[in-house]
Amino acid sequence: MNIQLFLHCLCLIVTTNLVAFHNDSVNNENKIPKRDQQAVENFLYRIIFEDEFGYTLFGNKPLTFHGYSTSHNKYQLDLRDSFYYQLISLVNFSNKKSFQEALTTSKYFNLGSDNDFVFIFEYDLSDHTYYIVFVNKKAFKETVESNLASFQKKFGNLSPEMILKKFELERYAFFKELYKDELLLGIVLGYGSHNTELFVRRNHLLNLFNTISNHSNEISHPNSSFASLEAELENLDKIFASYDDNYTPPLDVVMPVSFGRDKKDEKTIQLTSHYNEVRDKLTQIHALPNHGMELILSKLNLK
C-alpha cells in the first residue's frame, strides 16, 4: 500500500469516528427526540403545576402517585388516587391524547441508580388501573429514617438505605405494599406521621362504629384525652373537616399539597410552611419562558 492510499484510509477512519462521536454527543444532549418534545412537555406541565408532582421534584415530598382506571372507559380518570384525605381531580386523562402523552413521557425517564428520582408507569391488571409513581430518593430515605420502626415492622430489620434499594429494585411491587398500608402510605406521601396516625385512628373508629351497628363484639377504648369514642371521633372529624388550601384556578397556577392536618401541631406547621415555600418556587418557575421546561427537564436528567 503506498503512502497516499494509507493516509487516505487513515483520514476516512478519523473522519468517521469524529462524525460518530458528534452524533453521540448530540443524542446525549437531546434525550427526547423533537417529535416527542411537545407531548413530554404537555404531560410534565400537567403533573407538576396541576398536580403535586412538583413538590416531589423541587421539594421534600417523598412520593406522589396517581391511579387511572380503565375498567369502564379506557381513558377515564379514577379519583381514588388522592389517598384518603380529599378527592380531587388533578391530571386529566379524559382523552386519548393526554393518555398517549403520559405513555410517551414514560419512555424517556432515566431509571438508573445514579438518578435522584424513581419514575414508575405501570398497568395493574388486577384492578385495571395505570399507576404513575414518582419518588424523590433523598426525601424518601430521610422519611424512612425518621419513621424507621414503622417501616421495619412492615419490611423487616432493614436499614433506610436497604429499604430504598428494595424500592428501586422491586419498583411497582414495593409500591403496592406501601399502597396497602394506610400508615406508611400517608407518611411517604409527605403528610406527616402525626396527621397520618390521626387519620388511621379516625378510619378505625369509623369502621368500628359500622361493625358495631352490624352487631360486632369488637371492643375499643377512647384515647385517654376523651370520655368516649364518640367524643374522640367528633374531635378527629373537626381536624379533617377543612383544608384551607386557597386554590382558585386559573388565578392560582400551582396546585397545593392537599391533605387533612392538625393545624396546632408544630411539625405540621413546619411541613405546611415548607410546602408553601415550594409552591412559591413553582409559581416562579411557571413564570419563566415556556413555563420553565428547560429547568424541569434538566432536573429530571432529560436534557
Residue 73: Cβ within 10 Å count:
10
Q: Which long-range contacts (CB under 8 A, 24 or more apart) does 200-205 make?
A: 201/232, 201/236, 202/233, 202/236, 202/237, 202/240, 203/84, 205/229, 205/232, 205/233, 205/236
Give the rounded distance of the alpha carbon of 46 from its chain centre: 13
- Residues 292/286, Cβ–Cβ less than 8 Å: yes
Tell me phi and psi for residue 64, to 5 degrees.
Answer: -135, 140
CA distance 267 to 126: 38
Cα 60-181-232 angle, rounded to 5 deg:
90
- Global pTM value: 0.79
Q: What are the angstrom distances between the C-alpha of 6 and each of 17, 20, 69?
A: 17, 21, 65
Number of H helices, E strands in the chain: 13, 3
Q: Give Dmax (Cα) for the chain.
A: 103
pLDDT per residue rounded down to tens, the chain (303 residues) = 555 544 444 444 444 444 343 443 334 456 889 999 999 999 999 999 999 999 999 999 999 998 777 665 443 333 333 333 333 333 445 557 777 888 888 888 754 446 899 999 888 888 878 888 999 999 999 999 999 999 999 999 999 999 999 999 999 999 999 999 999 999 999 999 999 999 899 888 888 887 755 545 555 777 778 888 888 888 888 887 766 666 666 678 999 998 888 989 999 999 999 999 999 999 999 999 999 999 999 999 887
